[in-house]
Amino acid sequence: MAAKEKRLAQLRASVPEVSPTEARRLQSEGAALIDVREPDEVAAGSPLGAHRIVRGFLELRVENSVPDLDHPVLVMCAGGVRSLFAAENLSQLGYTKVSSVVGGFNAWKNDKLPVEIPPRLTPDQRERYGRHLLMPEVGEKGQLKLINAKVLFVGAGGLGSPAAYYLAAAGIGTIGIIDDDVVDRSNLQRQILHTDDRVGMSKVKSAEITLKGLNPAVNVVAHETRLDSSNVEEIFNGYDIVVDGSDNFPTRYLVNDACVKLKIPNVHGSIFRFEGQVSVFWPNNPGNPSPCYRCLYPEPPPPEMAPSCAEAGVLGILPGVVGLLEAVETVKIILSLGDTLAGRLLHYDALRARFTELQLDRDPDCAYCSGKGEFPGYIDYAQFCSMAGA
């Protein structure tokens, strides 16, 4: 014991210590508070907003949470002893402003400072999402964001099928699907959520069976109805992201207008024969206000200008490519990762195997997203050739 006491005395002389109240103040100013206790200790409560890195992995993982070595760091354990050792380890690693919290979490609690029960993945979830957890860009925090996300798919067809399938696999917790169609054998060339023995079944029901089969934890919300001006807001409300995989202009404009009004990012994909387009329409994009669909195309084409039903058709694999690009954008939005396609249109020409990026500009006078004047209201455009590209 003498050796331990001697060492602690040395550490107390060299590691700056702060009281819990002071630590809370520094944390509110941006300092990183790192709770280095064991998982079973943390599970019972941890300081609000703390990073939680078990001491055994501290040096290996700390840079994911605090990349800047000169950022102020506060280390906490249960009583203020382990944190002295941990603080010294961080100094040796190169962190220049490391302090230890006196009295640790016990003192933090006694001082009635804010505490939270950290959300945790279950052992089942850890196993299932292991390959996500290995990536610092996702990790447990990101996986919990995916699990808490609510994504609505407009259409369980060519685009919605691959997008919803992969997003269910990725662990999106709530997947809403709106579609009023039933499975037809001609859908099976591309709509991979459905199966031959479900021809005639409602697509929403069929999608639910497939998605639940892949990931039983996913909450599938069935909206077995046709989207129109009377139900669009009620259905969209509460979703974080809408993935548009619809097959007709009236629906696409309703999706856009409701997403603009409800400030929901609209992940857009469309396909025609060998060509696809993907974008994210998101006027309320934090830090990067981006155009809406109407900034691009203020009005749908009149029926005589739209591609005729006879021209409709699509390579069955194409919606797979485009739908999965929509799925990737959806995950990036949920995890705030990288640069989304907000403000850009990605065009895919399958025959030439060529991706082209077009820059989209906001229309400062857009009737829907410019904020000038009243919201113009929803429009039920006449249906025409709902087969186009279907």
Partner 1 sequence: MSNVTVRIPTPLRSMTGGADEVTVSGATVKDALDALGAKHEGVLSKVLDAKGGVRSFVNVYLGSRNIKALGGLGAELKDGDVLAIVPAVAGGK
Residues annotated as catalytic (active site), given as ranges:
309
Report the nearest approach of partner 1 to the CB of residue 307 (Å).
4
Q: Which is closer to partner 1, CB of 113 or CB of 182?
A: 182
Q: With residue 164 as reference, give the H or E element that holds it.
A: helix 160-170
Q: Which is closer to partner 1, CB of 72 or CB of 265?
A: 265
- In 3D space, the residue among 336, 318, 333, 341 whose CA is nearest the CA of residue 151 turns out to be 333
Strand pairing of 98-101 and 73-76? parallel
- Number of C-alpha atoms within 13 angstroms, CB side, residue 320? 10
Report the nearest approach of Zn ion to the CB of residue 255 (Å).
13
- Per partner kind, with CB cut-offs from 5 to 8 A, the member of Zn ion, partner 1, none near residue 366 is Zn ion
Contacts with partner 1 by CB under 8 A lie at 155, 157-160, 187, 191, 244-249, 252, 269-275, 277, 296-301, 305-307, 311-312, 314, 319, 345, 347, 349, 351-352, 356-361, 388-390
Q: Which is closer to Zn ion, CB of 66 or CB of 296?
A: 296
Contacts with Zn ion by CB under 5 A lie at 292, 294-295, 366, 369
CA distance 243 to 326: 7
Q: Which is closer to partner 1, CB of 159 or CB of 220?
A: 159
- Per partner kind, with CB cut-offs from 5 to 8 A, the member of Zn ion, partner 1, none near residue 305 is partner 1
Please give the backbone phi and psi of residue 230, each rounded to the nearest 5 degrees, phi first: -85, -25
User: Alpha carbon of 197 to those of 101, 166, 200, 301: distances in Å?
Assistant: 63, 22, 9, 38
Report the nearest approach of partner 1 to the CB of residue 366 (Å).
12
Please give the backbone phi and psi of residue 339, each rounded to the nearest 5 degrees, phi first: -110, 120
CA distance 214 to 138: 21
- Per partner kind, with CB cut-offs from 5 to 8 A, the member of partner 1, Zn ion, none near residue 85 is none
DSSP state of 37: S
Q: With residue 349 as reference, give the H or E element that holds it.
A: strand 344-349
- Per partner kind, with CB cut-offs from 5 to 8 A, the member of partner 1, Zn ion, none near residue 369 is Zn ion
Q: With residue 99 as reference, give the H or E element that holds it.
A: strand 98-101
Q: Which is closer to Zn ion, CB of 42 or CB of 292?
A: 292
- Per partner kind, with CB cut-offs from 5 to 8 A, the member of Zn ion, partner 1, none near residue 17 is none
Report the nearest approach of Zn ion to the CB of residue 368 (Å).
5
The encoded tokens of residue 333 equal 């939005």
Q: Would you give the distance in Å from CA 145 to the centre of its chain?
A: 7
Report the nearest approach of Zn ion to the CB of residue 366 (Å).
3
